[in-house]
Amino acid sequence: MRITGADVVVTSPGRNFVTLEITTDDGLTGYGDATLNGRELAVASYLSDHVSPLLIGRDAHRIEDTWQYLYRGAYWRRGPVTMAAIAAVDVALWDLKAQVAGLPLYQLLGGASRNGVRAYGHASGRDLPELLDSIRERQEQGFRSIRVQSGVPGLETIYGISAAPGPAGDHGRHPQPQEETWDTQAYLRHLPTVFEEVRNEFGPELPLLHDVHHRLTPIQAARLGKALEPYDLFWLEDCTPAENQDGLRLVRRHTTTPLAIGEVFNSVVDYQTLIREQLIDYVRSAVTHAGGVTAMRKLFDLAAQYQIKSGIHGPTDISPVGMAAGVHLDLAIHNFGIQEFMPHCAETYEVFRHSYTFSDGYLHPGETPGLGVTLDRAAAARFAYRPAYLPVNRLRDGTIHDW
């Protein structure tokens, strides 16, 4: 089975997505997600100008060999653009191989290790009543595990908290990065009171998660983790910028709150200290951003040796192609933890037809051979690319802050 085409499709049905479409001489088509939020065109160019020409004529069955060829052959290794491009190729090849086998992808990864994939949804509110209503809404949608994000008194906008309710597809539609003001001490004072109220309202059984978005120093993160221990979080995510891996030692010494890190990582190399020293509990990378199914399977196998579980990144800037790949992997691996799931808007699902389903708190990839996702090129053509960026975070004195 030889590759005859490798086309890059950029479309924006609610959000910007980059998709690699690989075709073979057998008439099959495989898809890979190459979306890198706010830098989509860099990956599109990397694929079109530097990767796609290398694929023509290659044996589509040689997935591991192709991965190593693209990773090592470029000399410049790792980085988000390179790894997103490699991920797109890798997932598309796995899609093709599973179609040839006539099996859903998870069967080629060893078969199902569970009946379904536990997923968590996002609840947020500018104030406590709005947050509690959002949690109830997620429960009505079927979520049984919920990430809780709250506004902070005195701060007009906070990333992850909508200024006004709107569809998921509206997120990030800004021609320039918005600038938000941040106050660490106000956040540290307020957040424990939020979880106290949430626990009082919903009881001890509901799994709760929270994302700090890298905004604390290690000692501040340790303080927060300690303060949240009475509320029994499923995890505290990205509590401090993890590039400073040694900083997680300080956090770990001071709190037993479980830690999840890695959505901005793109390689197993980024995790070496964190995994080896058991400084985290959950690995947060996305299939789309960390080299595809091949690389993520190896990362999870390493993490499993240290009782560390998966928590694959799954926001709406991961296309349904990337989401499907993650859910197939979730179903197969032994050390699965939980899957982030933000349903896309109707326009996205019009472009990307998918077989995965969500019911009663669980995702399942379906039994369609391959990934179970197809791209409607005619529908995709109706949604032109528009620049969009995530916000920039500033302290009250104007200093650009970590996040």
Give me the active site residues, please: 159, 213
Of 179, 177, 127, 175, nearest to 149 by C-alpha is: 127
For residues 132 and 118, what is the distance between their CA atoms, to the nearest angstrom?
Answer: 22
Burial pattern 19-32, b for ≥16 Cβ within 10 A else e, equals: bbbbbbeeebbbbb
Asked whether the beta carbons of 88 and 69 are under 8 A apart, the reply is no
Structure tokens of 239? 């509590």
Of 9, 76, 109, nearest to 352 by C-alpha is: 9
Asked whether the beta carbons of 318 and 35 are under 8 A apart, the reply is yes
Eight-state DSSP code of residue 48: I
At 236, is the secondary structure helix, strand, or coil? strand
* DSSP-based helix, strand, coil % in the chain, nearest 5: 40, 20, 40
DSSP H stretches of helix in 74-217: 80-101, 105-108, 128-140, 184-202
Structure tokens of 45? 């160019």
Contacts of 68 (CB under 8 A, 6+ apart): none
Phi/psi for 211 (5° steps) reads -115, 120
Burial pattern 116-151, b for ≥16 Cβ within 10 A else e, equals: bbbbbbbbbbbebebbbebbeebbeeebbbbbbbbb
Contacts of 27 (CB under 8 A, 6+ apart): none
Contacts of 53 (CB under 8 A, 6+ apart): none
